[in-house]
Structure 1
Amino acid sequence: MSVDVGRDAEHYLAVLLRVVPWVTLPIATVIAVAQPGQPGTDRAVTLGLAGLAAAWVYVAYTRASEERRRRTVPMLVYVLGLLVLCVALMVRDQVFLLFTITGFFHAFLLRPWQLGVAGVLATSVILNTFTMGVPQPTLPSLGTYLGVITIQTASIGLGVALAERTTEQHRRRKEMIARLEATLAENAGLHAQLLAQAREAGVVDERQRMAGEIHDTLAQGLTGIITQVQAAQRVWDSSDRAREHVDRALGLARESLAEARRSVQALRPHQLEEAHLPEALGDLVRRWARDDGVAVRFDVTGDPVPLGPAVEVALFRVAQEALHNVSRHAQAGRVGLALSYVTDEVLLDVRDDGRGMAVDGGHQGEGFGLRGMAERVRGVGGAMQIESAPGEGTAISVRVPAVPVAAP
């Protein structure tokens, strides 16, 4: 608000400084040349001096650039020339005191403010000397003359000092706002850069996740199949014992196939192609509860907003992996999943009442699944925390920035 007031005051002062000479000079000139009984030469001299004053104001001030008006020397030369012309015009006719008043206004152009006050003083001396005459060497005459000049200079000079202070404060505010805008623009660029780095890191993390997934599931499954087939070959003459090993190999093959399909599907969840995150999670929870027979409660708080694809995929995969871990390891009777939209973050909490596990500093040290979840969350600029203890269930809390779908 103060910035707007300062800008308006500076604008009005600039308009006033431009208008005053072009109002007072024509009026005074018309009155001076319209007086009867003047010789033609006197009118010509008056018009010539008025034209010279107009040209001086036009060239040295009106047409001057903003940068030139802020410089001390050019404006000091302009004001001195203006006062000399005012003296010459008032010698011709005192009616030009109207134009001399311009000196009071254009003293506001002088910097620092001490020069502006000196300009006001010089204008006051010229104006009062021509209107009151040279004072007599008496106390009343000198007192009146000096008193008028002093009061006039002090009152107008105070305005000059306050105007310079206000202009300086406004200039500093403009510089501060410009620096703040530059800082905000730099922060926006850094934020976009961080998001790009997060996406790149997400690609690397996804590759690492797939590598770990293959190592922990498919490779181990194939190793088990080979072991069972080799065992069946050794007891091939005993059909019952061989069938037992073949059945185990077949079971491992089916499990490995299921793991392979799950890993491939993890690249692009089809649920998010058809709905936003809350609906996709709701569908995931319903299907998981139906297949595993475990009671699940799913809650959404806050106002859901469409998020960037990377953020939604990360949260969906974390929930999917968390439920998968519950079905494989937790032996839980109840599961709770909550999705919360706050001002600039999205929170995902998955809790179960299963057998729990030992954690170190809030992070599971074993198991690629939990490590992959944490890496996926970090890939979108978030953080994951795990709270668990043997026999006390597990709570997984994820916090990610709410990056809108339209963000760069």
Structure 2
Amino acid sequence: MSAPLTTNRILFIDIARFYAIALVFYGHFIEELMLLENPVAASQYKFIYAFHMVLFIVLAGYVAKEGDVDWDVRTFLKHRFFSRLLPYIFFTLLMMIPPVFLDGKFFGLELPSFDGYATGLVNTAFGLPSFCIPSWFLMLIIGVELVHYAAFRYVRKSDGRILTAAVVFYAVGYLLNLKLDIFNPLKGRTVGWNYFFIHEAITLYGFYLVGIYLRRRQIFLDRLSVKILLPGAVVSFLIVLLTYQLNTGPFTFHLYNDVVILFASHGHMLLFPLTAIAGCALVLLIAGMTRRQKTMVWLGQNTLILMCLNGIFYHYINPPVSKWVMANLPHSALSIFGVGCAMTAASLALCIPFVWMFNRLVPQLVGKPKRKGPLVGSLI
């Protein structure tokens, strides 16, 4: 049976989500330094991207409500529209405004212009949100939840079935994407090729099931001793450290010879899941040792909003700041790590008032459709 949803467990998951979103902010800044040919940044990017998006999927599986698959199709789709797709639309519309006033990084789109906006909207409809790249994950999680709704009813009877299905879904999805390379802008496969990332959702559903299994077994549900958590974290870190550079492909998104979940580019069939699961374990174990600090928990509860707000930094702030860093600061590992941490902390701090504002004024538009707000009533 599924584990009860205790307060302790929710706080633990929120701490893990905080670390996950911090890795997103850090990784997107480091990516810009990597593109400026900093080898230290390239190594850190490869390390983080080896597991950080898989971590979100495992956490989503951990908190998944197994009874949702018993809803009728209309109820399920309505809930996913208001909790996932509506925020995607809302932040797309919101992020279409800054290009009128600011220059940003938009990968060849000429903004503001009619053609630029038209092309960007078409790309956004097919999973490449040109005005807010980080929001692509909302489309992916919809795809994973669609696969879950269709498949979980057939495997939920036993933990053995869940683990077997996890392996099967991963293997089928991995081979499907490796052979067909379905969604890849380098090959002109964007418009008409991607529908809620179903092609990648099949692969990642295996990790979603891992999250469900962990909750069923009540792993991390209760507070564990640091004597258990710390050695586990050290071992997990060493596994990631010793394996992430070994994954040299085959990668389908050749611009980056790294794991890029956005384009279903995984690399080695065995090394990818090994490093990803070890990385997830590392963050979960660290979360288990972390004091329940209110700000961290609150930010962890608002990762959907933060993911989309990261688009401001991704498109407008990270590129010029990274150029300044490369021109004026040392390129050592310590310097890059320090600047990356400082940028991450500053970026998250700047997001706090906006997260509060969205939750206060329009919670229904940012992933919380059951809440009532001063401008809009509850949607479901």
TM-score after normalising by structure 2: 0.21
Higher-strand-fraction structure: 1
* Higher RCO (C-alpha under 8 Å, 6+ residues apart): 2
Larger Rg: 1
In the superposition, the TM-score normalised over structure 1's length comes to 0.20
